[in-house]
Amino acid sequence: MTTARSLLIDPESPGFYHYISRCVGRTWLCGVDSFDGKSNEHRRDWAEQ
């Protein structure tokens, strides 16, 4: 069952929500994208920071 975004998002840090939703949306954000075959390894450093 889904949960309304208004219950999930902290209005004080909307940038973090966008980043996390993007990661969930593209499971291979830090690996090789199976759709287009491009490597996204450079993003791993961003996530670790």
pLDDT at 18 over 70: no
Q: Is 37 left (phi over 0), alpha (psi -120 to 50) or beta?
A: left
The answer to whether 49 touches 42, Cβ cutoff 8 Å, is: no
The answer to whether 10 touches 20, Cβ cutoff 8 Å, is: no
The pLDDT confidence band at residue 24, using thresholds 50, 70 and 90, is low
Bridge partners of residue 39, in order along the sequence: 32
Q: Which helix (H) or strand (E) holds 49?
A: none
Distance, in Å, from the CA atom of 23 to the CA atom of 37, rounded to the nearest integer, reads 17
pLDDT at 27 over 60: no
